Amino acid sequence: MISSDVTGLILVYSYVALILIVSEKVLGKYTTFSRKFLHIMVGNVIFILPFFTDQFVITFLAAAPFVVLTFLISPYSPVKINDKISSSGHGMGLVYYAISWTVLAFFFYDQPWIIAVGIAAMSYGDGFAALIGERYGKHKFKISSDTKSVEGSLGMFLVLMVSLFIVLIYFNVTVPSLLVIPCVAITATIFEAVTPKGLDNLSACFAAVGVYILTTTL
């Protein structure tokens, strides 16, 4: 472990602790909004990824511990913790979020922009889909067990387009075609729309990464 990895760990845990405090103590009375605030803001860890150089550190010290922590505050935890954020929405949603981050960190630790693509899909994309859908969603549809809205899906697509553009600029990555970003965004949006029970934190994330890899390597 080198100094930059240590810096990365300090930044990740400090940042997550900060947004947890804001979610619980400042926004706690707005239960649904505070959960989505946390869901979206955790995505900003993508800007810390360049500090990590070691596969073990980013996977098992930076990402994997959050699988355990989010499960312990979920409704399925053997340790009953009164946590308003985890008790709203899908109980395992944050756990799936942490699992996705861990899997991506393990396989793409040396290509952090790929990790960032997946995190962007499930944090900014999925998070804003829910917020926009709840506020403006008048045209509902139900493909799986969850009810979605056209407005929420459109919001996810547009937010993810912008987010991916920012991600690629931040990591100084040039894609071979202008179609890469819309292809990734529409795929993640479709998977978010058809996947039930918080599993979109897995499906949208991995679908986005899969399409990104295909469209940049073929």
Q: In 3D, which of 86, 67, 59 has the Cα closest to residue 1?
A: 59
Tell me: the pLDDT tens digits for 125-172? Answer: 988 998 898 888 888 888 877 788 899 999 999 999 999 999 999 999
DSSP of 81-141: ---HHHHSS-TTHHHHHHHHHHHHHHHHTT-HHHHHHHHHIIIIIHHHHHHHHHHH--SEE
pLDDT score, position 147: 81
Strand pairing of 148-149 and 140-141? antiparallel
Tell me: the pLDDT tens digits for 166-213? Answer: 999 999 999 989 899 999 999 999 999 998 877 889 999 999 999 999
Q: Tell me the residue range of the domain where 133 lies.
A: 3-217
Question: How many Å apart are CA 43 and CA 156, to the nearest integer?
Answer: 14
pLDDT score, position 182: 97
Question: How many Å apart are CA 70 and CA 97, to the nearest integer?
Answer: 9
- Max mean pLDDT among 31-45, 80-94, 115-129 falls in 115-129
**Per-residue pLDDT band at 83 (split at 50, 70, 90):** low
Average pLDDT for residues 69-89, to the nearest whole number?
66
Q: Number of folded domains in the chain?
A: 1
Tell me: the pLDDT tens digits for 18-66? Answer: 998 888 887 767 777 788 888 899 999 999 999 999 999 999 999 999 9
Q: In 3D, which of 26, 20, 119, 30 has the Cα closest to residue 73?
A: 20
Whether 73 contacts 86, CB under 8 Å: yes
Q: Give this prediction's pTM.
A: 0.91
**Per-residue pLDDT band at 7 (split at 50, 70, 90):** very high
Could you tell me which residue, 158 or 76, shows the higher pLDDT?
158
